[in-house]
Amino acid sequence: MLLNLWNYLRGYVIIEVSGFSVERFINLAVHRGIYIWDIQHFNGVIKMKVSIKGYKLLKSCVKKTKCKMKIVEKIGMPFLFFRYRKRKALIGGVAFFIFIVYFLSSFVWLITIEGYDRIKHDELSSFLSENGLRIGSFKHSINAQELERLVIYEFTEISFLNIQMTGTKAIIKLTETIPEKEVIDRTTPNNIIATKDGLIESIYVSAGTPLVQVGDIVSQGDLLVTGELVLRNDETGIITDYVHSIAEVKARLYYTMHFSVPIIYTINQPTGEIKRHLRFNLMGQVFDFLPFSNNFDYYEKATNMNQLSLSENYPFPIIILTDVYQEFVPITRERSLEEMKQLAENLILQKILQEFDFSTDIIDKTIRYEEIADGLNVEVLITTTENIGQDSPMNIYYEDLEELEGEEESNNL
């Protein structure tokens, strides 16, 4: 692509060479270092491309081989300028356009950030802007290596960062650190309490003393497992120890839903009438140069954005905004009983997916329908099995512990 552009800028001609010594003509041109390309052979005639300077050198090859050479087409900027040499305004406009393109290509007009998950995009963009990398920044004033160092120092969640300036586009690729695993302090004594009301279905205790059993009904905040262990309970007294309770306590819970499904609903029927309105975003400022009026009573609006660019890596600060107005007519329709029930089941499923996580086991779902004048009343009873245990710190009186430890030492003596 770059070679084609270079050939176009310096100009070249397409020629046809014919005669009895065409092959000798090509060999002689190559031997003299004349660059020719895109050679095509058909019906005893050879067609090729050669630069303007090379064409002049080929005249001596024509004399020696006694071939005929003619120009088929002239291509390139020199011929274009020669053709329009008297149109100074046009040449000036082209030159000004080239200057503007070159000038705009010296700035950053698009910033993309790739590879972030825990890092907030807005925070990173704000930090980059404060340190010189923002939309409209002069490319040559940005020290990418220094900026990479500052970002990694400021954001400890980033382990690797690369800033690549490609055309008028800044591509930021980062790799986040591996998140630290939550460390549970097993040395601190604690209890386990209920987070919800429910009926105990199962209890598995790895550490601690269970205070409930299967079949018990508990309320939110009730103590399920205590970290207090009785080591000895005899005539000499009670010896206890305190541990970090570990247990899984599952309970049966009940949830209810109440909602109504209307029998009448409205759909938007497109009429096929569409209006478009062009606006321009120039360096962050939106301009509306064209008059526009919208006489649709009902419509849906969508805005398409198209950023002008020479290529993927050379975007410019000019965005064409196309507002598309699509007219529709509201049409009222009536649901059947089966359609209302189907819609109700879909709504129930959506609510279950939103409110229950994957650790919750849904063991039963009972739906009761009641037809009313304007729709359908829906009542749902959902039965689940969930882990309702939650760690809770213990209140330990350390004076009593010291007394107990003293008694143990005296008994050992």
pLDDT in tens, 246-303: 999 999 999 999 999 999 999 999 999 999 999 988 877 888 888 888 889 999 999 9
Match domain 87-183 to its CATH number in 3.40.50.300, 3.10.20.310, 3.40.109.10, 1.10.238.10: 3.10.20.310
Q: What is the pLDDT of residue 285?
A: 84
How high does pLDDT run on average in the chain? 86
| Fold designation for 2-82 | Alpha-Beta Plaits (3.30.70)
Asked if pLDDT for residue 401 goes beyond 50, the answer is no
Look-up: residue for tokens 């009343």?
377
E strand or H helix that includes residue 198: strand 198-207
Average pLDDT over residues 107-117: 89
Asked if pLDDT for residue 402 goes beyond 60, the answer is no
Look-up: residue for tokens 């993309």?
112
Q: Give dist(CA 222, CA 205) in Å, integer.
A: 16
Report the length, in residues, of the chain: 413
Q: Give dist(CA 14, CA 36) in Å, integer.
A: 10
Q: Give dist(CA 376, CA 384) in Å, integer.
A: 25
Confidence at 208, pLDDT banded by 50, 70, 90: confident
Q: What is the pLDDT of residue 1?
A: 56
Q: What is the pLDDT of residue 82?
A: 74
Q: Give dist(CA 320, CA 389) in Å, integer.
A: 57
Count of CB atoms situated within 10 Å of the CB of 328: 17
Candidates 381, 361, 378; CA nearest to 369 is 378
* Same topology between domain 2-82 and domain 87-183: no
Candidates 103, 106, 108; CA nearest to 171 is 108
Q: What are phi and psi of 117, to 5 degrees?
A: -135, -60
Burial per residue of 219-255, b for 16 or more beta-carbon CB atoms within 10 angstroms, e otherwise: eeeeebbbbbeeeeeeeeeebeebbbbbbebbbbbee
Adjacent-strand bridge partners of 169: 110, 166
Q: What is the pLDDT of residue 182?
A: 66
DSSP 107: B
Average pLDDT over residues 121-142: 90
Look-up: residue for tokens 């939650």?
390
Q: What is the pLDDT of residue 413?
A: 46
Long-range contacts of 176-183 (CB under 8 A, 24+ apart): 176/115, 176/116, 176/117, 176/118, 176/119, 179/118
Average pLDDT over residues 82-97: 73
Both tokens of 222, joined, read 């009730």
Both tokens of 402, joined, read 């010291």
Confidence at 193, pLDDT banded by 50, 70, 90: very high
Q: Give dist(CA 26, CA 18) in Å, integer.
A: 11
Look-up: residue for tokens 């598309």?
324
Look-up: residue for tokens 């400022």?
285
Q: What are phi and psi of 116, to 5 degrees?
A: -95, 150
Average pLDDT over residues 326-343: 93
Q: Give dist(CA 37, CA 39) in Å, integer.
A: 5
Residue ranges of domains in the chain? 2-82, 87-183, 257-264+335-386, 267-332
Count of CB atoms situated within 10 Å of the CB of 340: 21
Asked if pLDDT for residue 411 goes beyond 70, the answer is no
Average pLDDT over residues 211-215: 91
DSSP 21: T
3-state helix, strand, coil in the chain (%, to 5): 30, 45, 25
Asked if pLDDT for residue 409 goes beyond 70, the answer is no
Q: What is the pLDDT of residue 192?
A: 92
Confidence at 397, pLDDT banded by 50, 70, 90: low
Number of H helices, E strands in the chain: 9, 22
Q: pTM above the 0.85 mark?
A: no
Count of CB atoms situated within 10 Å of the CB of 104: 17
Q: What is the pLDDT of residue 340?
A: 94
How many alpha carbons fall within 13 Å on the CB side of residue 115?
Answer: 14
Q: Tens digits of per-residue pLDDT, 1-57?
A: 567 777 787 889 998 888 888 888 888 888 888 888 888 888 778 888 888 888 888
Asked if pLDDT for residue 406 goes beyond 70, the answer is no
Average pLDDT over residues 351-358: 88
Confidence at 399, pLDDT banded by 50, 70, 90: very low
Lowest-pLDDT range, 28-32, 64-68, 79-83? 79-83
3-state SS class at 206: strand
